[in-house]
Amino acid sequence: MTDNLKYLEALINSDSKVISELYLESLPKIKKFVLQNKGAPQDAEDVFQKALIQIAVRYKKNPFSVTSSFHAFLFTACKNLWRRELNKSSRWVTKDILEEQLYEKNEDALALLEQERWELFQAALDLSSDSCKSILKLFFKKISYSQMVVDLGYSSETVARQRVFKCKKKLIELVKNSSSFNALKEL
Amino acid sequence: MSTQDDLLIEKYFRESLNEQENIFLEERKLDQEFNDRFILEQHLFKSLGDQEWSFAQNLNSENVTKYQKLFEAPEIIILKSTLEEIRNNQTVDFKNEFVWKPFAYAAAAVILVLIGVSSFNNSTTSSQELYSNYLDKGELAYSVVRSVSNDVSVDSAQQLFFKGKYKKALPYIQLQMEKPGVDLPAFHLMKGVSLIELKKYNDALLVFDQLIASDYLDAQKGYWYKGLLYLKKGEKQNAQNIFMKIKEEKLYNFEQASEILESLE
């Protein structure tokens, strides 16, 4: 059994020995990340626990394999959960109480589906050409076109913008062609 | 999608639309194709950027309900409990790295004193034997089987309880207690006994007191298990008081209470 499968099975079977290994190997890295991003050790432990449960539920629903290392996969899940947590307060500015209650009731499932959507987008970006990947990463970080010209060596801002629009179109096609798009587009 | 639409959407995400462009964007959103694209790009922007997060908009999606149910599946509830246990142990281990040495000799001394005391006073041991002899876990199971329809989490609660895996059983028991209409005395008692076994005596007392204060026909069973708790804890006087009450008021198991009182004298 591969290490990745070992960890996935351990979560489903509540194998405390193997899960303890995960705590020892991965939690310090998550703690470091959360502490560097406005969090406390307690937050890191909460996020770590939520990520493990989220992965277990996903595996139970539809067994999958992890192509990277399990630790990297877990780290990404934790990182996104923490990003989500940090942005939560801004989400409720315009929402009503009933909607908030519904959200809280289903929060675990929503976080899981949002993570799956993130993975779908990330996979599509990974399938893009290297030049598209580079310029889109800057675009989504809201980097100015003048800076893109400097960083990526385009001849003008107009050329950079045309490239962004072209790459974005391609990215959207990749997303829409993904088998999981239909299940996630209504989210 | 025209280049004009691309520019409009980009300006929106870069927060540089003027008033007129804002109005134009709202008009364009009336077009379904444009609106779908706008929403998808919004998710892309928030997901693939560093700072924001793309939250779900449709809270009533079928998938949401399906997944939420999975978070309440027995394996996941057990996992939650296991993770909590590991987390607590990790915290203890972490603390021990720093503090165990100064206290090690003191702990050894306390153990020696306890061994000495227990050699001279065996009343705690004998009351614990009484507890073991009179605790009938089968009676609890019978009450549950009698009262609840087929439910996987009930089975899990029972199995774990009988295997003595009290910490893992507790979340299942709690789950049952939180279900509307299934708040049965048997689950109170299973919870209370689990807490006794985990040496969380005060929490267990609270559970039994809640049962005693309830309107259930089986509420008086709370006294019996409260008496057993005091036996387990080695509080002979409190145990005698409770069993005396059971005997005098002919409450649940009053005959067995009399036997225990005789054994305690």
Across the interface, of B56, B60, B79, the residue whose CB is closest to A11 is B79
How many CB atoms sit inside 10 A of residue B141's CB? Answer: 17
When divided into structural domains, chain B yields a total of 3
Same domain as B243, residue B140? yes
- What the block records as the tokens of A77 is 């899940």
Same domain as B138, residue B155? yes
Q: Does A108 touch chain B (CB under 8 A)?
A: yes
User: What digits encode the pLDDT tens for the residues A92-106?
Assistant: 555 677 777 777 788
Same domain as B61, residue B46? no
d(CA A47, CA A128): 31
User: What digits encode the pLDDT tens for the residues A20-31?
Assistant: 999 999 999 999
Residue where a domain terminates, one of B55, B73, B93: B55
What number of CA atoms fall less than 13 Å from residue B109's CA on the CB side? 5
Judge whether A55 and A8 are in contact, CB under 8 Å.
yes
Of all residues in chain B, what percent carry a pLDDT higher than 70? Answer: 79
User: What digits encode the pLDDT tens for the residues A113-155?
Assistant: 999 999 999 999 999 999 999 999 999 988 999 999 999 999 9
Does the beta-carbon distance from B47 to A172 stay under 8 Å?
Answer: no
A1-91 folds as: Rna Polymerase Sigma Factor; Chain: A (1.10.1740)
User: What digits encode the pLDDT tens for the residues B137-161?
Assistant: 766 765 665 454 456 667 777 778 8
Contacts of B238 by beta carbon, 8 Å cutoff, 6+ apart: B230
pTM higher than the cut 0.80: no
Residue where a domain terminates, one of B102, B120, B138: B120
Provide the residue ranges of all domains of chain A, joining segments of one domain with +. Answer: 1-91, 97-187
Residues of the domain holding B72: 56-120
Give B217-244 as a DSSP string. GGGGHHHHHHHHHHHHHT-HHHHHHHHH
Q: Does A95 touch chain B (CB under 8 A)?
A: no
d(CA A109, CA B32): 28
Judge whether B188 and B204 are in contact, CB under 8 Å.
no
Neighboring chain A residues of B60 at a CB cutoff of 8 Å: 102
Helices (H) and strands (E) in chain B, counts: 14, 0
Q: Which helix or strand (DSSP H or E) is residue A39 part of?
A: none
A 118-157: CB under 8 A from B: 118, 121-122, 125, 136-137, 140-142
Residue where a domain terminates, one of B120, B136, B164: B120
Higher per-residue confidence, B178 vs B167: B167
The answer to whether the Cα torsion of B78, B79, B80, B82 is positive or negative is positive
Across the interface, of A61, A102, A118, the residue whose CB is closest to B47 is A118
How many CB atoms sit inside 10 A of residue B63's CB? Answer: 19
Nearest CA to B188 out of B163, B157, B155 is that of B157
